[in-house]
Amino acid sequence: MSKQTDDLFKNIVSHAKEYGFVFQSSEIYDGLSAVYDYGQLGAELKNNLKTYWWKSMVQLNENIVGIDSAIFMHPTIWKASGHVDGFNDPMIDNKDSKKRYRADQLIEDKIDRYEKDGKSDKAAQLQQDLDDALNADDLPRLKTIIEEHNIVCPVSGTKNWTEVRQFNLMFATQMGAMADGAEQVYLRPETAQGIFVNFLNVQKTGRMKIPFGIAQIGKAFRNEVIARQFIMRMREFEQMELQFFVRPGTELEWYEKWKETRLKWHLALGSNPAKYRYHDHVKLAHYANAAVDIEYDFPFGFKEVEGIHSRTDFDLKQHQEFSKKKMQYFDPEINQNYIPYVVETSVGLDRLFLTVFANSLVHEDLSTEEKQDSRVVLKFHPAIAPVKAAIFPLTKKDGLPEKAREIMNKLKLDFNMQYDEKDAIGKRYRRQDAIGTPYCITVDHQTLEDNTVTIRHRDSMEQERVAIDQLRTIIGDLVSWNNLLDQLQ
């Protein structure tokens, strides 16, 4: 990261903490690595992002329903899905610093360094060697590459490495009180399997006809070898996943459709299109016949936010084999039984939070010839802003606070509101700008005479005078989910 992008990222992290969006977990005990808590405003923003996703999937599509499956599942599920045997990262330890690294990431960092030093040929060759070694699951080759390219431990500076070993990313725990009879279970590493194993339950009870989808939002857990970049790579995180079940042979058409739909969904939030790109997978997982990532240009480069995979019938077939229960669907249109094919969309809620945060945080220079001025604004789309409107009495006397409270008591039935009477109005505006509140309402002496207030718009900073009894409609229209969902139709 260059100094400038490093500063940009540090600003995002410190702003998120300073204004109550994201805290390090267990901070008073010096934190827990790669685990984070969402604060009072972060929880609101996260809930709004979930609502946007849920409405766009479940409310807008007659053929998509949502479920909420348990985090604990039968351990054989993870055998069937391939996670017990194959959900691994190659890790390596430095014997001097005792630090553990992902072998492939150490090599990727070296590729970045070659690129930065203008050694593009070397970078390309190393990338090819890395891909070949990973494709062949050749762990000794990864170690040789690390040695050949003189990759040293960033902490100790030495090349005193252990062998490269596979490290399974699932967290395991015991279920049941008796040590002897306890069963090893896993904290789910993805929410998708909870959908697959409920496929027939939902299809039958909901009388769903193919093509149809099952959506789910929930926690997932991965014991990442190294976790870095704030909420990008966490050990406990949240996913929003859709499994869309289709007739075999139609999956690539649906894959293209979902690829387009999902990018549109991200862009509707008002993000700069130049910040997004598709990254098609060249090397496909054994169960996929097409896969793409939607990547966002973070201060540390383009990184995956969402994955769209055409997963064939792999998962349902595996569950049919391991559970010995038929996972078939009878298609009345063609009079045939088959195991459906699946197109999956999977977005990490925390990564989405970070894209929205990075995309919205703006430092604006407001200096005029007379004076220097600036502000920090979170330009969230009004529908997802944690606080929809703030209300300020101009002064703390003359009945203005009472009038402001009276207005707030009505508006809070519809909107998340904040009341603030401290400091000058300008300072109060700045406080709301910094947390992304789209509208500020000021109650002044004129309000007491004619029942009007001023409403100030966060982005334009323009103010207009409106009647109090219009506020609910005005704010309601501005923050409505329609403004987002309409763009997806």
- 395 marked as part of a ligand binding site: no
User: Would you say 193 or 360 has its CB closer to ligand GAP?
Assistant: 193
- 351 marked as part of a ligand binding site: yes
User: Would you say 102 or 388 has its CB closer to ligand GAP?
Assistant: 102
The least distance separating ligand GAP from the CB of residue 442, rounded to whole angstroms, comes to 40
Q: State which amino acid sits at residue 193.
A: Q
The least distance separating ligand GAP from the CB of residue 323, rounded to whole angstroms, comes to 19
- 375 marked as part of a ligand binding site: no
- 304 marked as part of a ligand binding site: yes
- 237 marked as part of a ligand binding site: yes
Beta-carbon contacts of 295 under 8 Å, excluding residues fewer than 6 positions away, are: 276, 277, 278, 279, 302, 303, 304, 305
The least distance separating ligand GAP from the CB of residue 344, rounded to whole angstroms, comes to 6
Q: How far is CA 243 from CA 54, 340, 345, in A?
A: 14, 11, 7
- 222 marked as part of a ligand binding site: yes
The least distance separating ligand GAP from the CB of residue 49, rounded to whole angstroms, comes to 12
User: Would you say 203 or 216 has its CB closer to ligand GAP?
Assistant: 216
User: Would you say 88 or 156 has its CB closer to ligand GAP?
Assistant: 88
- 105 marked as part of a ligand binding site: no
The least distance separating ligand GAP from the CB of residue 349, rounded to whole angstroms, comes to 8
User: Would you say 294 or 484 has its CB closer to ligand GAP?
Assistant: 294
The least distance separating ligand GAP from the CB of residue 237, rounded to whole angstroms, comes to 4
- 148 marked as part of a ligand binding site: no
Which burial class, exposed, middle or buried, applies to 368 when counting CB atoms under 10 A from its CB (0-12, 13-18, 19+)? Answer: exposed
User: Would you say 234 or 378 has its CB closer to ligand GAP?
Assistant: 234
- 350 marked as part of a ligand binding site: yes
The least distance separating ligand GAP from the CB of residue 139, rounded to whole angstroms, comes to 21
For residues 34-67, one letter each, b for 16 or more C-beta atoms within 10 angstroms of the residue's C-beta and e for the rest, the string is bebebbebbebbbebbebbbbebbbeebeebbbb
Q: How far is CA 125 from CA 113, 116, 159, in A?
A: 13, 15, 21
The least distance separating ligand GAP from the CB of residue 240, rounded to whole angstroms, comes to 9
User: Would you say 241 or 313 has its CB closer to ligand GAP?
Assistant: 241
Residue in the shown chain whose Cβ atom is closest to ligand GAP:
348
- 305 marked as part of a ligand binding site: yes
User: Would you say 232 or 484 has its CB closer to ligand GAP?
Assistant: 232
Contacts with ligand GAP by CB under 6 A lie at 190, 192, 222, 224, 233-234, 237, 239, 241, 304-307, 344, 346-348, 350-351
Half-sphere exposure of residue 441, counting CA atoms within 13 Å on the CB side?
Answer: 31
User: Would you say 327 or 455 has its CB closer to ligand GAP?
Assistant: 327
The least distance separating ligand GAP from the CB of residue 60, rounded to whole angstroms, comes to 22
- 234 marked as part of a ligand binding site: no
Binding site feature residues for substrate: 102, 190, 237-241, 344-348
Binding site feature residues: 102, 190, 222-224, 237-241, 304-305, 344-351
Binding site feature residues for ATP: 222-224, 304-305, 348-351
